[in-house]
Amino acid sequence: MRRAPLRLLDRYVGREFVRIFGITVVGFPLFTIVVNLADNIDKYLSRGVLVRRIAAAYVFALPEQVFFIIPAAVLFATVFTLNALGRNSELTAVKAGGVSFFRLIAPMMVLVREQGLDGGPHLRLAFEVEKILLAGRWRLHMNYAALVASLAADFGLSPYEYYFFVIPAFLAGMPPCYLEAAEKPEGLLFPLPCRMLSYEGVGRRRWRDALLKPDVPG
């Protein structure tokens, strides 16, 4: 049986997820090595340990660190990938095109299942809640925040720990949004509720009267 070819959307989401996942898997172990080396390099050299032996010890310890970081890297990549899609309004565009949220994250869920993270009690509970929501009047789907929170809970993170875990994902989106807004001219749409604005211009128009009696110039 032939496998269906990957869609352009699958390749795009998968590429973004794998990129962040790869950076996390490689970056976190290297970061811990640098910190550990900075703390202990004087002790190693004072005991006469050769530099090549120090380097070999860290190289041999790297696979174990990568093995332990993979599950956390899946969660980290999921958070930042979905946050980037939401920040760029790509989630809205995809939903407007008729693609469901879970069809969008299908490439990411493949790796989640391969790591055995799809059977956690909180993730299963989130899917059960979504079934109830879909059976209701408004047919609501679970959003990406619920998916990430359930994965984090299955990792054993407390609400306090989860709060500090997701802060970098949200902070990462603030500078690009500010820079994009700063480059635009004044007078463009500013997304604030009308009740928060102090308006002193022309009074509220009655649209029914305006349609029946259009303004005539002159």
Per-residue pLDDT, 4: 47
Q: What is the DSSP string of 26-75?
A: HHHHHHHHHHHHHHHHHHHHHTT--HHHHHHHHHHHHHHHHHHHHHHHHH
Closest CA to 76 of 150, 1, 148, 4: 148
Tokens of 205: 């128009």
Give the type of residue at 51: V
Cβ 76 vs Cβ 162: under 8 Å: no
Domain parsing of the chain, residue ranges: 8-182
* Per-residue pLDDT tens digits of the chain, which is 218 residues long: 444 445 788 888 889 999 999 999 999 999 999 999 999 999 988 988 888 999 999 999 888 888 888 888 888 888 888 888 877 778 878 877 888 777 888 888 887 888 788 888 999 999 899 889 888 888 887 887 888 899 889 988 899 988 888 887 777 777 777 777 777 777 666 555 566 566 677 776 665 555 555 555 54
What SS3 class is residue 150? helix
Cβ 13 vs Cβ 88: under 8 Å: no
| Dist. CA 69–CA 24, nearest whole Å | 8
Per-residue pLDDT, 206: 66
Cβ 32 vs Cβ 84: under 8 Å: no
**DSSP H helix total and E strand total for the chain:** 10, 0
Per-residue pLDDT, 23: 92
| Dist. CA 56–CA 51, nearest whole Å | 9
Chain mean position to CA 203: 43
Cβ 108 vs Cβ 81: under 8 Å: yes
Q: What pTM was estimated for this model as a whole?
A: 0.64
Tokens of 110: 């493949």
Q: What is the dihedral of CA 176, 179, 185, 186, to 10 degrees?
A: 90
Per-residue pLDDT, 187: 64
Tokens of 54: 């120090």
Task: List the Cα angle 142/108/152 in 5-degree steps.
Answer: 60
Tokens of 83: 């946050």
